[in-house]
């Protein structure tokens, strides 16, 4: 079944089961949420906060020791889940269905980042990044959407402010997070008649194990001769990894997910940054793109017209 037909079928299922969906969403029963990449960092914080606020969390992880740890938590059931493996995704769907709770929400948190120059790095690095960060949420959402539509629930993807702010050191990661922005909007448009809410959470720099993994991946890639690391680049990567200890815990990111899963008025986008500097850089980057789009084209708008557009959008919020 192709993607469009599947989505239309899912929407039809949701409309035909609205009575059951309303019952599932009225707060009288414990709602269940799937979280991918739940073993550490942002994913673990999300799992802990949702579980502490009455949700039953199906916590996706790959390693046996992580699955065992997650199973010790109250209101948490571990699920073996590599988002790049269709067989594991299908098995996870079957497991969730067998539990009989339905599924209120999906949090596509699993993600990777690599240091690999776009001009000289191996294409395998790009494919790896896109496979986890973009194709992963695509596959997981497709597989679990029938359950989410049935409950008229919610699905979100953990994006990044790098979906707006580019970086020369992480081009593949930036590409993947820009893609997540477009994916979110398109999926929301497809599902607008189903009752399912769609969002993207865009964190800034919070504490996460991903920094150590970026440095280790780069070193391994250099050892294989796939990329070249200069002394300056090695220092940047080392500083990048060690900076993790001084960063804020990602509690605010988890709180944004909780808001999306519980609010009567969930947002499409949740930009969450640890400081004003990163927030300013993100908003400014988005505005710079508007200015560049508007410059020297046949239908350019002057300042007053642009401000009027902004006012109209702000009033619509």
Tell me the per-residue pLDDT of 298-310, one tens digit each, with 9 for 90 and over: 999 999 999 999 9
pLDDT digits (tens, 9 = 90+) for 181-195: 999 999 999 999 999
Number of other residues whose CB lies within 10 A of the CB of residue 197: 22
Does some domain include residue 181?
A: yes
Do 74 and 184 belong together in one domain? Answer: yes
Distances (CA, A) of 184 to 68, 191, 284: 32, 11, 21
Write down the mean pLDDT value for the chain: 89
Range of the domain at 180: 3-210+248-274
Number of separate domains in the chain: 2
Catalytic residue numbers, as ranges: 173
Does some domain include residue 234?
A: no
Q: What stretch of H or E contains 260?
A: helix 251-262
Q: What stretch of H or E contains 134?
A: none
Do 132 and 14 belong together in one domain? Answer: yes
What's the predicted TM-score (pTM) here? 0.86
Do 83 and 191 belong together in one domain? Answer: yes
Q: Indicate left, alpha or beta for 196 from its phi (over 0: left) and psi (-120 to 50: alpha).
A: beta
Do 51 and 200 belong together in one domain? Answer: yes
Do 200 and 284 belong together in one domain? Answer: no
pLDDT of 65 above 60? yes
pLDDT of the residue at 243: 72
Do 76 and 16 belong together in one domain? Answer: yes
Does some domain include residue 198?
A: yes
Does some domain include residue 173?
A: yes
Q: Which residue has the tokens 């073993």?
A: 39
């Amino acid at each position: 079944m192709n993607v469009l037909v599947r989505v239309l079928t899912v929407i039809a299922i949701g409309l035909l089961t609205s009575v059951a969906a309303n019952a599932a969403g009225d707060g009288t029963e414990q709602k269940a949420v799937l979280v991918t990449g739940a073993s550490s960092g942002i994913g673990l914080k999300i799992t802990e906060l949702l579980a502490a606020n009455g949700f039953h969390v199906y916590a996706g992880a790959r390693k046996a020791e992580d699955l065992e740890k997650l199973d010790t938590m109250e209101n948490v059931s571990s699920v073996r889940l590599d988002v790049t493996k269709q067989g594991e995704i299908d098995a996870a769907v079957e497991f969730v269905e067998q539990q009989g709770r339905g599924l209120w929400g999906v949090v596509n948190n699993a993600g990777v980042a690599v240091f690999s120059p776009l001009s000289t790095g191996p294409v395998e690095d790009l494919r790896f990044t896109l496979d986890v960060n973009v194709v992963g949420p695509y596959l997981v959402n497709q597989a679990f959407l029938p359950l989410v539509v049935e409950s008229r629930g919610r699905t979100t993807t953990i994006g990044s402010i790098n979906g707006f702010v580019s970086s020369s050191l992480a081009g593949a990661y930036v590409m993947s997070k820009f893609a997540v922005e477009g994916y979110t909007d398109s999926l929301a448009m497809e599902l607008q008649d189903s009752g399912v809410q769609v969002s993207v959470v865009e964190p800034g720099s919070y504490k996460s194990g991903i920094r150590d993994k970026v440095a280790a991946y780069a070193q391994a890639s250099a050892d294989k001769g796939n990329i070249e690391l200069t002394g300056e680049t090695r220092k940047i990567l080392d500083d990048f990894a060690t900076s993790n200890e001084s960063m804020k815990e990602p509690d605010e990111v988890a709180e944004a997910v909780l808001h999306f899963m519980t609010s009567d008025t969930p947002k499409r986008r949740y930009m969450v940054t640890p400081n004003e500097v990163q927030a300013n850089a993100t908003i400014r980057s988005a505005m710079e793109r508007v200015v560049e789009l508007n410059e020297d084209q046949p239908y350019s708008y002057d300042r007053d017209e642009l401000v009027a557009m902004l006012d109209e959008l702000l009033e619509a919020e």
